[in-house]
Structure 1
Amino acid sequence: MGSVHAPHRLVRRDAAGYRAALVSRARVATPPRAERCCHAVRRRRRMARGHRLVAGHPANNGNAVTIGIEAAHNGTAAWSEAQYGAYLKVVRAINKRLGNPWNKVVAHKEYGAIQGKWDPGNLDMKLFRQRLLQAPDKPLVVMNMIELEAKENPWVGVRKAKPGAGGERKVGRDGKGRFVEYENAHIYFHPATGAHAIPHGGLFEAYAERKWETGELGFPVRDFTKLADGAVMAFQGGVLYRKDGKDHHVVKGVIGQRWALEGYEKGPLGWPTSDEISNGTGGKRQAFEHGVLEWDPSGAVKKIGDAAKDLTLVNAAGIPLAVEAVDLIAA
């Protein structure tokens, strides 16, 4: 599918529902669709757009309430000025047409409750929404995303470092990460993942035990969520769960996808009680309060060919076909 390039214009098509398309001199971007959006596969990355996730919207079926647009991108490279600028322009145009605030937008990775949605990759959505509010004919204003995160989350409390970039500590293998300690949280930032506050009192301490950003978790990719009896936060390397009064565990990969389908901690399995461990035959096994999930690509559970190893093979809902290789084992 063609990349989004400028110059472009917004056009309307009479179809089953409202549809908009970016048209450039050379290529046409995937049309945003109000009636139905395709899930991303391989090199296509989708941003769910037009409506930010709000109360009353479905948790996993954004197609009915959003207009989506795809862009050709490998998920790790820097976004070109033309492609990033086109995304800004089309979001503003659609929101203007719908009478929405210019920054009313949500990414695929932010909307879906099912684990594993990561696209569009290497795009800081908090910064993107700030860019949408800036005048398109003016130079971009440089923003400190850690300070913005603290301003929008006053619960983090007093900053325990001098203001500005001079008070930030550089972290990460590439040296592009930053963090600042606050009274009630640490705020971590990386250009690829954005700024996110990790609260003290459970989640941050668990993150520290797993060697912070240098460990398996990497940088945070979504804001934390307080659950009825615990908390959860998504990182590059998995989703960190901590039940009140219990130890912390990471859920990820195909087992994490299947656990999500079972209903997360509210489903029949309950909370995780271990991390993934080897099942002795090349697969993985993870224990939960009321059962076990096991995945074995060798076929000990179920042989499904290439889909057992290739997580880019997905079904119509965008869930890896390898999920079908996980069987629920009664406790």
Structure 2
Amino acid sequence: MIVSVTLPARKSPRTDSRPRVVPAAPLAAVLAAALLLALTAAVAWGSTSIPPGEVWGVVWRRLSGEPPRPGTDDLIVWQLRVPRAVLAALVGAGLGLVGTAVQALVRNPLADPYLLGISNGASLGAVGAIVLGLGAGGALGLGLSGAAFVGALATFALVWTVARRGGGFAPLRLVLAGVAIGQFLSGFTSYLVLQAGDEQQTHSVLFWLMGSLGGANWPLLAVPAVAVPAAALLLQARARGLNALLMGDETAAGLGVDVVRLRRELFTVTSLLTGVLVAVSGAIAFVALMVPHVCRLVVGGDHRRLLPISALFGALLMVVVDIVCRTAMDTQELPVGVVTSLIGAPALLYLLDRRLGSAS
């Protein structure tokens, strides 16, 4: 009698192609510690180097209400470098949040606010304020920040109206409407740049369009210091809905999600936050695209983990980028957008190549 024995199939050492997910809590702790070190370095390094101990001494005296000590270190630390470092962190965190929300909104991991035309509208508003001489106050006291904010809101309303024509709503229609309107606004912005009254004004506009944190001061921090944490809390509360959107509208509706209402909320929040960020820092490219994509590769697609990690990583990235912008050249400061593009494009291409290579 012949007895046949079927041996169990041997498992390959690593046949699961799913990416490894790093636990979010330890990663958040590491990112928070790295952000604190980066903020310290951002305040300590510059044309005049200040020891980290003195940096924290100045900050402690200011926060505790003690009178400032005489000398230039206190002025440099508290009035110049601390506001700029905090603004960089807020802008980076905001861009990370915006990019994550937009990518869920259109179900595209390579989307960003530029894809929906929101950044273009904010840029048009701000450039219009500069060219027309409204930067110092302007009509109704809006000034540069208000003009960028109004531009983002107007673009949001226009894109939303076009995307909702016919009563339906589809991510593809939203993207196409945003791209078309954004390109139109970009062309009009270029026209306004050509109408600038003098060479210095043109240089100021172009430098602002490439992103800059050089105008940071304590009053400027008021709006983003409220807007970024508020948006983070709202988006975190909608994390389960964001997860459901990625599975499709029908599946999300079956899970009890009001898809139309959720998309309206997401579009409103991303538009408002984009307007605030563009108003205080100019148009900074690539961060909102790269940060969520990189974080998704590390912690997975669950927005309960992805949103806070994207905010922390975006803040860390922007603080480091601003240090490079200030210290890379002795004679002038580099625009922030130039450095983010030089860093981000090769990094994202490398990650995409690894991701596509592992999937094939």
Classify the TM-score, shorter chain: under 0.3
Which of 1 and 2 has greater Rg? Answer: 2
The TM-score normalised by the length of structure 2 is 0.23
Q: Which structure has more RCO (C-alpha within 8 Å, separation ≥ 6)?
A: 2
More strand per residue: 1 or 2? 1
The TM-score normalised by the length of structure 1 is 0.24
More helix per residue: 1 or 2? 2
